[in-house]
Structure 1
């Protein structure tokens, strides 16, 4: 892992731009954020949600802006963190359309290895934190890569196809009333599209006139996290908002039941999938407005404090 050390102007943190080598040699471009106190530090690998996502969980005009506020909240508790651009995004080379769900997992494994090997990181005090798809990869890492702790933000605990269908039902329920008579037709179309994706054999494919990451869809639809949850022995914090319409908040109960030692779970009032709170419905149609707000500060502080108590 290589990079040039650059200190932020505020002096609150130090940030090192680095490249974590993936298993096939691709350099995963990222940022290691460090507290200003002397190391080595406990650390966390931060994994974003699905899509063409950069290190700050931004995808084009859809700007989640999670990475830096999370890194700063962790640093305030004395915890370093690593976040990186996915393949084909930002400064990481590759074609995003051909990267599979399991490729994303393998890259997370490589990034975790690189983080543990950094001289300013205490290798036995490294945790994982993921949001949405990233939470599912964090489950796998918690089961197989022996991190010190895991945080699951809006993570689902059911087979991928079932999770996608639940998400689709929530989207349908939020459609404007004049469109609702078309719901039976829309459901049939969605079912056909999922079947076509599952039947593809190429990395990318055109479905409904759009070029999609077919391999990612096949692998994500087929993956069931329940077996991995049942293997986890490290401390787990799972948080989902009660206004999340992309992941069923009831999956928190499944997570707590499947993990042998249980998990600390929080169903946060008003919190949406994009980690902003709202007094209105948690519809995806409200995302554009909600994204003008920052990520919920209480959530970030609570997560950082929980990790500070377990990464020692």
Structure 2
């Protein structure tokens, strides 16, 4: 696998630092744009205290199947300039569009690009799914409802996995976050910590069902049975909403971090989960589906 530095120029001129991973042969190659979960994440899906390492794992697996991958640092993260705390949900979507365009413009990349998103990245993948030049969409832990409804579901699921004395604190924190949907400054303090109010406000008001209803290329949606941040039942809604071919899979034992965990579903197990690798079967399922779809289904691109 070859790794090449690639700069993505956003609509407002911000240069995002990325990595294009390609197979060892000269190509042109089919390609996938990788979009990570919410937070201050770099191109590998890592934050200071949360090392998911999703980017390298998927890039290596896809390269073995002859597929290139583009991933990038978010604004204000890693080698990308900007202010992460004041970057909106819509900014992240527009940056994803710019990354898609940069990938499609390369002569070493074949027409018909796949978009793979995890968590917040899945929401942006839904938006990109109806754009010209997109041939396949993979949604890892994506929801089919408004952001506010998803956050309320998440609050209850997270609370159930905590000791009883902590549950009211989670519900109180979520109520405070939901109040941010009222107009106000881009950055506010909640419980003494700065919060990206602009991102929160835009995400709460976003309804993914509108985007899903416009996707006519093949979709693979995967959510873990033990996900406490996204309702696995939304897989059924995704299948029903997408007018194109849609395959959905609920994976037993899989969590939001894309690891298998034998214990009770809880965010308290996240540190332990992150000491293990991304689930091999998930990587196999995802990359084999993309290889089949981008090889045989490119003519159905939107």
Q: State the TM-score, normalizing by the size of structure 1.
A: 0.92
Q: CA RMSD in A?
A: 1.3
Cα-to-partner distance string for 1:192-238 (whole Å, 9 max, x where unaligned): 4421x112422111222211111000000000011111111000000
Contact 2:122–2:140 (8 Å) recurs in 1: yes
Aligned equivalents of 1:36, 1:56: Cα separation in 2? 20
Q: Do 2:117 and 2:123's aligned partners in 1 also have CA atoms closer than 8 Å?
A: yes
Match of 1:223 in 2: 206
- 1:154 maps to 2:141: yes
Q: Where does the alignment leave 5 or more consecutive residues of structure 1 unmatched?
A: 1-12
Instruction: Give the counterpart of 1:117 among 105, 108, 122.
Output: 105
Pair 186,128 (structure 1): closer, same or farther in 2 beyond 3 Å:
closer
Secondary structure at the counterpart of residue 152 of structure 1: strand
Which of 29, 46, 55 lines up with 1:67 in the alignment? Answer: 55
CA contact 1:200–1:214 (8 Å) conserved in 2: no
2:17 is matched with which residue? 29
Instruction: Verify: 1:194 aligned to 2:182, yes or no.
Output: no
Question: Are 1:165 and 2:152 an aligned pair?
Answer: yes
Paired residue total: 295
- Alpha-carbon distance in 2 for matches of 1:154, 1:261: 19
Match of 1:101 among 66, 72, 89: 89
Check 1:186–1:289 CA distance in 2 against 1; reply closer, same or farther (3 A cut): closer
**CA deviations over 1:13-63 (Å, ceiling 9, x no partner):** 000011111111111101000001220000000000000010011111111
Preserved CA contact (<8 Å) 2:116 2:122: yes
Give the structure 1 partner of residue 289 of structure 2. 306
Deviation at residue 282 of structure 1 after TM alignment? 2.3
Contact 1:52 1:59 (C-alpha < 8 Å) held by counterparts: yes
Verify the 8 A CA contact 2:177 2:200 in the aligned structure 1.
no
CA distance in 1, matches of 2:131, 2:189: 35
Output the CA distance in 1 between the equivalents of 2:118 and 2:221. 10
- Tell me, yes or no, if structure 1 residue 256 matches structure 2 residue 239: yes
**Maintained 8 Å contact 2:217/2:245:** no
Aligned to 1:8: none
CA contact (8 A) 1:43 1:80 kept: yes
| Aligned ranges 1:130-149 → 2 under 5 Å | 130-149=117-136
**Residue equivalent to 1:18:** 6
Q: Which residue is 1:237 aligned to? A: 220
User: Could you list the per-position Cα deviations for residues 46-104 of structure 1 after superposition, in whole angstroms to 9, with x for gaps in the alignment?
Assistant: 00000001001111111111000110011011000000000000000001001000000
List 4+ stretches of structure 1 deviating above 6 A: none
Match in the other structure for 1:9: none
Q: Give the structure-2-normalised TM-score.
A: 0.95
**In 1: Cα distance, 2:124 partner to 2:152 partner:** 20
C-alpha deviation, 1:176, in angstroms: 1.1
Q: Does 1:129 align with 2:113?
A: no
Matched, 1:55 2:39: no
Out of 161, 175, 186, the residue aligned to residue 174 of structure 1 is: 161
